[in-house]
Amino acid sequence: MTQESLESYSHENRMFPPSEDFTKEALIPGIEAYQKEYAKSIEDNEGYWAEIAENLEWFQPWNRVFNGDDRPFFKWFEGAKTNITYNCVDRHVHNGLGNKAAIVWEGEPGETDKRVLTYWDLYREVNQCANALKDLGMKKGDRAALYLPMIPELAITTLACAKLGIIHTVIFAGFSSNSIRDRVDDCQAKLVITADGGWRRGQVLNLKSIVDEAIDGCESVTDVVIVKRGHGDPFPCKVKEGRDHWYHRMVQDKPIHCEPEPIDAEELLFLLYTSGTTGKPKGIMHSTAGYMVYAYQTMRTIFDIKPEDVYWCSADIGWITGHSYILYGPLLNGASIVMYEGAPNWPDSGRFWEIIEKYRVTIFYTAPTAIRAFMKWGESWPNQRDLSSLRLLGSVGEPINPEAWMWYHTVIGAEKCPIVDTWWQTETGGILISPIPGATTTKPGSATFPVFGIDADVLTEEGEPTETGLLAIKNVWPGIMRGIWGDKQRFIDTYWCKWGGQYYFPGDGAHKDKDGYIWVIGRVDDVVNVSGHRIGTAELESIFVGHPDVVESAVIGINHDIKGQCLVSFVTVKAGIIATEELVIQLKELVIKEIGKFAIPEKIVFAADLPKTRSGKIMRRLLRDIAENRAMGNVTTLADPSVVEELKRKYSEN
């Protein structure tokens, strides 16, 4: 985020209180109710979480709400046993919600691909799947990797794993085979669940062949389950005798009941890999009880979820947003969710509004990058549809610029829907900073205040409160990550080294205005947020230097009108090598192979040299100045200042 945009954010004075109509019906009806609950949640934090947890079912009660003795390895609800799938599905069936729609699914092709699963349907399908997984010999603590399109079976298999205590790691279906292999190897997954294919913009993505390539030679994998997405005949794919099993055959005769495995509070529920500053993506660990309680409570209070709501989060279950706010949070609250397989602009740019009209969606949660794309495609698309069912809008994944916020408010929300701009991360498990819709007066572009049970502030490097600095979370909450799979030290170093390990350091910069509103500015580390996807620049740099013609590379993130940020890479080739278009293509292909298409840089600029300090450190700040066409910062520390002029020339030619 540049200084200019920060200033435009902090000068934003428009205020939007929730309407009386909304507040009257809201779960947290107004600022006083909010302040009372917030004060209680901070003053008696453990008591607060214990009370919330009582709304869920436990097979054995906890004997300690919070245990911080072994900082930063925290424990919540120690001694308790529960099961998150039982709480998401069985509990509602037992409470008379069996006939309520749990998942309303729309496939990319539309009319020919629709399914509604009631809670009772979900119960049966999850149990049949769990019984089949048991027959494969899968048991509590084993790891399963899921590489599926956004189809109901992604929800079903994830819930089936959780019912048995199998630790799931869902891999977004845009990742390459090498990314799958890295993840499967890292967590030593025994099982991979995939599909013969998935629809994306009218094309079938052949997921099974990507998995075959990925796990070739992975000794940990004993079984692969293939969900048939194709109608009638499956999409063409290879089936390896003894290892591969068709999902529909595997589940067809299985019993429809399955006892939930009692899971210890701190046993892991899932791993989700995300990019960091260095090295390969890290497996963020989330445990069962704390995550469950946190997802339940944030869903309830931030989305004001009611029995009659139709809730749609347009993310993919492959990201944390999908875990907490497509799957677990809504189902824990017994909500009806819409799930959509395809892209927002296929077959036309009005697809999302068509879905909202068709299912009378009441709560819609999407990303700023999508909102900016909708703005570009024009108001005529949403204006053709009846969006009057909407009562609440959400935003997630990156800072939302005031202009996009206003468009969302006016064109989609008809100036009547509160907007919850929710700040959080894979690591936090759930939302930490957000308006509470019936209570908070919002400002366009600000995530506003910490939610219940969260104490957050903006601090200097030294830990002093400041207006513009680093975001810090000063207490611990049940949904916080429990570590990085197989790397205790990296967990400590990344999140618990600043401020003497007293506070959680999320890696974001933030501004706190005179009214106490928090404006999250963006990452302060070498992680770039492209269309809400986190990409580590170090990861890309190591891919480029892996090419035999490349000696050095520096990747930076710069502002982008639609994507929020985009990647620009500077590459130095070996002496005697001529940088050609062909080399650009090869480098892009390497990115596709190692990560996936979504990580391809916007620009690849060949540079004879990179700006370095005398000690040899690449000055990325200067590269960003060049790429964003800004006046150059201080160049006196450069070993060779002439490098900058040459780079500027190269960049403008590109």
Query: Closest by alpha carbon to 10, among 521, 584, 637, 610?
Result: 521
For residues 593 and 176, what is the distance between their CA atoms, to the nearest angstrom?
Answer: 6
Which of residues 23, 83, 529, 531 is near ligand PRX by CB under 6 A? 529
Contact between 82 and ligand PRX by CB under 6 A: the answer reads no
The structure tokens listed for 131 are 């019984």
Contact between 344 and ligand PRX by CB under 6 A: the answer reads no
Contact between 447 and ligand PRX by CB under 6 A: the answer reads yes
Q: Which is nearer to ligand PRX, 160 or 459 (CB)?
A: 459
For residues 569 and 592, what is the distance between their CA atoms, to the nearest angstrom?
Answer: 15
Query: HSE (CB half, 13 Å, CA atoms) of 244?
Result: 18
Which of residues 366, 425, 442, 446 is near ligand PRX by CB under 6 A? 425
Name every residue whose Cβ is closer than 8 Å to that of residue 36 and which is 6 or more positions away in sequence.
Answer: none
Q: Are 74 and 480 in contact (CB under 8 A)?
A: yes
Q: Are 151 and 341 in contact (CB under 8 A)?
A: yes
Contact between 424 and ligand PRX by CB under 6 A: the answer reads yes
Q: Which is nearer to ligand PRX, 340 or 505 (CB)?
A: 505
Q: Which is nearer to ligand PRX, 195 or 473 (CB)?
A: 473
Contact between 270 and ligand PRX by CB under 6 A: the answer reads no
Count CB-CB contacts under 10 A for residue 108.
23
Q: Are 67 and 74 in contact (CB under 8 A)?
A: yes
Near ligand PRX in 147-206, by CB under 6 A: none
The structure tokens listed for 224 are 């692969």
> Is the bond preceding 347 in cis, omega lying within 30 degrees of 0?
yes
The structure tokens listed for 534 are 């986190």
CB of 507 to ligand PRX, least distance (A): 6
The structure tokens listed for 159 are 């819930």
For residues 143 and 192, what is the distance between their CA atoms, to the nearest angstrom?
Answer: 9
CB of 368 to ligand PRX, least distance (A): 8
CB of 579 to ligand PRX, least distance (A): 33
The structure tokens listed for 452 are 């219940």
For residues 444 and 76, what is the distance between their CA atoms, to the nearest angstrom?
Answer: 35
Contact between 526 and ligand PRX by CB under 6 A: the answer reads no
Q: Which is nearer to ligand PRX, 272 or 543 (CB)?
A: 272
CB of 584 to ligand PRX, least distance (A): 28
Contact between 23 and ligand PRX by CB under 6 A: the answer reads no
Which of residues 318, 506, 536, 601 is near ligand PRX by CB under 6 A? 506
Contact between 522 and ligand PRX by CB under 6 A: the answer reads yes
Q: Which is nearer to ligand PRX, 234 or 394 (CB)?
A: 394
Contact between 523 and ligand PRX by CB under 6 A: the answer reads yes
Query: Closest by alpha carbon to 288, among 80, 452, 67, 52?
Result: 80
For residues 555 and 569, what is the distance between their CA atoms, to the nearest angstrom?
Answer: 4
The structure tokens listed for 532 are 């809400």
Near ligand PRX in 567-606, by CB under 6 A: none
Which of residues 41, 176, 274, 298 is near ligand PRX by CB under 6 A? 274
Contact between 509 and ligand PRX by CB under 6 A: the answer reads no
Query: Closest by alpha carbon to 549, among 589, 588, 581, 576?
Result: 576
Question: Phi then psi for 182, rounded to 5 degrees?
Answer: -55, -45
- Indicate the Cα dihedral angle 270, 271, 274, 276, nearest 10°: 130
CB of 211 to ligand PRX, least distance (A): 23
SS3 content of the chain, % helix, strand, coil (to 5): 35, 25, 40
For residues 94 and 74, what is the distance between their CA atoms, to the nearest angstrom?
Answer: 33
Q: Are 434 and 451 in contact (CB under 8 A)?
A: yes
Binding piece for ligand PRX, criterion CB under 6 A, among 404-412, 486-494, 522-530, 599-607: 522-530
CB of 194 to ligand PRX, least distance (A): 23
Q: Which is nearer to ligand PRX, 153 or 427 (CB)?
A: 427
CB of 508 to ligand PRX, least distance (A): 5
Give ∠ CA 205-206-207 in degrees, rounded to 5: 100
Which of residues 177, 336, 426, 448 is near ligand PRX by CB under 6 A? 426
Contact between 534 and ligand PRX by CB under 6 A: the answer reads yes
Query: Which DSSP category does 123 fall into?
Result: H
Residue nearest to ligand PRX (CB): 426
CB of 386 to ligand PRX, least distance (A): 28
Near ligand PRX in 404-423, by CB under 6 A: 421-423
450: β partners? 433
Q: Are 342 and 370 in contact (CB under 8 A)?
A: no
CB of 413 to ligand PRX, least distance (A): 17
Which of residues 334, 399, 444, 478 is near ligand PRX by CB under 6 A? 399
Q: Which is nearer to ligand PRX, 76 or 424 (CB)?
A: 424
Instruction: Say whether 492 sits in a helix, a strand or coil.
Output: helix
Which of residues 397, 483, 596, 601 is near ligand PRX by CB under 6 A? 397
State the number of binding residues for ligand PRX (CB under 6 A): 22
Near ligand PRX in 297-326, by CB under 6 A: 320-321
Binding piece for ligand PRX, criterion CB under 6 A, among 23-31, 117-125, 396-404, 538-546: 396-404
Contact between 508 and ligand PRX by CB under 6 A: the answer reads yes
Q: Are 129 and 161 in contact (CB under 8 A)?
A: no
Contact between 118 and ligand PRX by CB under 6 A: the answer reads no
CB of 527 to ligand PRX, least distance (A): 7
Q: Which is nearer to ligand PRX, 314 or 426 (CB)?
A: 426
CB of 124 to ligand PRX, least distance (A): 32
Q: Which is nearer to ligand PRX, 281 or 342 (CB)?
A: 281
Contact between 520 and ligand PRX by CB under 6 A: the answer reads yes
Which of residues 26, 396, 454, 571 is near ligand PRX by CB under 6 A? 396
CB of 424 to ligand PRX, least distance (A): 5
Contact between 261 and ligand PRX by CB under 6 A: the answer reads no
Q: Which is nearer to ligand PRX, 164 or 471 (CB)?
A: 471
**Measured CA distances, 229 to 198, 223, 237, 351, 540 (Å):** 7, 19, 12, 21, 33
Query: HSE (CB half, 13 Å, CA atoms) of 37?
Result: 19
Binding piece for ligand PRX, criterion CB under 6 A, among 39-47, 503-511, 581-589, 594-602: 503-511
Q: Are 429 and 295 in contact (CB under 8 A)?
A: yes
The structure tokens listed for 515 are 């009214």
**Measured CA distances, 29 to 294, 308, 600 (Å):** 21, 18, 46
Can you give the binding site for ligand PRX, defined by CB under 6 A? 274, 320-321, 396-399, 421-426, 447, 506-508, 520, 522-523, 529, 534
